[in-house]
Amino acid sequence: MPGVSPGLPVWTPGVWGAIWANGVWASVGGVTVPDVVGLSEAAATSAIEGVGLVADSVTAYSPTVPIGDVISQSPIAGASVVPGSTVTITVSLGVAPTRTVPDVVGETQGDAEDDIEFVDLVPSVSTQYSNTVAAGVVIAQSPIGGVTVSAGSTVIIYVSLGPPPAGAGQVPAASLWRYGYQITDRTS
């Protein structure tokens, strides 16, 4: 290769090291990422650092992997990487905590939001007109009160805007006639 002295290490993007010798490239010394899924965080860190890599950990809930054990890793086991590369392991926090959804139907929007947030859930507000429920009061919710959900889940509350404005939802008779409907006056 022009400009390259035979037998000298050369940096090549994507390859941690390579040598140009006798007209061919040869890779030099990649490190194989160990399989640490299922190990404890301490054992996984030791295995990663034992081959010259750096361990970094993040956490996540898992319904199947015991607390403190590795759920997944990146890069995957068997990958060849540059010495000193970081292997990120995801360590289990165990099963996600659950919360019981409070029943907030009939409460004011502010009280309902406070009650939902108090149990580590997230309120989301949707509004709609109601002829029977005063403006600002919760008409319905999803999920319903009493249901068990994961902490941090969203609870949608449907808050009344009060009665619809006059004429809302009504279609003028002329519009219906235009589409072939027969109009009959039922007011007499």
Residue type for position 108: T
CA distance 37 to 90: 9
Secondary structure tally for the chain: helices H, strands E: 3, 13
pLDDT in tens, 63-98: 999 999 999 999 999 999 999 999 999 999 999 899
The verdict on residue 179 lying in a domain is no
Domain identity same for 38 and 88: yes
Looking at the structure of the chain, the number of domains it has is 3
Residue where the block lists tokens 């072939």: 180
> What range does the domain containing 65 cover?
33-92
DSSP 33-67: PP--TTSBHHHHHHHHHHTT-EEEEEEE--SSSPT
- Sheet hosting strand 54-60, strand order edge to edge: 54-60, 86-92, 70-74
Domain membership of residue 48 (yes or no) is yes
The confidence score (pLDDT) of residue 11 equals 44
Q: In this structure, are 130 and 149 located in the same domain?
A: yes
Same domain assignment for residues 138 and 154: yes
Same domain, yes or no: 17 and 48: no
Could you report the per-residue pLDDT of 92-126, keeping only the tens digit for each? 999 989 999 999 999 999 999 999 999 999 999 99
Say which CATH number the domain at 76 has.
3.30.10.20
Structural tokens at position 72: 């997944």
pLDDT at 9: 46
| 49 and 82 assigned to the same domain | yes
- Paired tokens of 80: 């060849």
Highest mean pLDDT among 17-21, 67-71, 169-173, 175-179: 67-71
Q: Are 49 and 84 in contact (CB under 8 A)?
A: no
- Tell which of 45, 74, 92 closes a domain: 92
